[in-house]
Amino acid sequence: MQGDTIIIEQHHRAAAAEIVPMILPRIENSKGKYTLTVAGQSGSGKSETASAIADELAKKNIKTAIFQQDDYFIYPPRTNDRARREDISWVGPQEVNLSLLDRHLKAFLSGRDKTVKPLVIYEEDAIRSESMDLQDAQVAIAEGTYTTLLNNADLRIYIDRDYEETRAHREKRKRDAAELDPFIDDVLVIEHHIISSHKPRANIIINADYSVAAARL
């Protein structure tokens, strides 16, 4: 998403440094491309962790393409916020075109050199499109709240932090003052109940203190 703020901190890099040796044999033994997801609540550090993993893989000469779930929302950010305030039941996976993101991961796995994907322009509250170069990438990371649900993922990473634990990070990256009002806390409670049910699908868990545990490897 254009206009997003990504602040990679030491705990993100430390988690990535633990995760990459765990997944590297799977990547190297794969016959072609490899996909993984990084999921968690808003402000849990999904974008930062995905970028840190990409940096660690780059040290192994493995190029990565990152798909941001934020680009796949049905509505752009402020419009989506209004839709939520009009009907809070809108909060959930239905806000996101997950099927399109899944198709783009499938295209990556099939060896597609590029794909045309949505691009959210935060400041304009608009969704445009961009051509994403996939030619030299061996790994694709899809990061976002509900990405654990994606079918075309070889491995799933889940950040196990709730909305109270992520508040400091949300304040630091603050996209908009509305993001920190009481209504958003209600949204995050709903999100937490939804995505906590996705945790059993994960192969790797990043705990609240950013320690790393293998769940299903």
Pick 128 or 177 by higher pLDDT: 128
| 1 within some domain | no
What pLDDT is attached to residue 217? 75
Number of Cβ within 10 Å of residue 10's Cβ equals 9
Do 192 and 161 meet the contact criterion of CB atoms below 8 Å apart?
no
Burial of 14 (0-12, 13-18, 19+ CB in 10 A): middle
Least confident of 52-66, 123-137, 156-170: 156-170
pLDDT at 172: 58
Inform me whether the pLDDT recorded for 63 exceeds 60: yes
Q: Is residue 2 part of a domain?
A: no
Please tell me the pTM assigned to this model. 0.92
Among residues 99, 97, 75, the alpha carbon closest in space to that of 87 is found at 75
pLDDT number for residue 83: 98
| CATH at 184 | 3.40.50.300
Number of structural domains in the chain: 1
Answer whether residue 53 shows pLDDT above 90: yes
Predicted pLDDT at 215: 84
Give me 169's structure tokens. Answer: 């990070």
In a domain, 45, yes or no: yes
pLDDT at residue 31, rounded to an integer: 83
> DSSP secondary structure string, 9-52?
-HHHHHHHHHHHHHHHHHHHHSSS-EEEEEEESTTSSHHHHHHH
- The answer to whether position 215 is within a domain reads no
In the prediction, which pLDDT does 176 show? 56
Position 216 in a domain: no
Indicate if the pLDDT at residue 174 is higher than 60.
no
Domain span at residue 199 reads 10-205
Look at residue 173 in the predicted model and tell me its pLDDT. 56
Indicate the pLDDT class of residue 181, thresholds 50, 70 and 90. confident
Task: Give the model's pLDDT for residue 193.
Answer: 94
The reply to whether 133 falls in a domain is yes
- pLDDT value, residue 47: 95
**Is it the case that residue 27 has pLDDT exceeding 80?**
yes
In a domain, 77, yes or no: yes
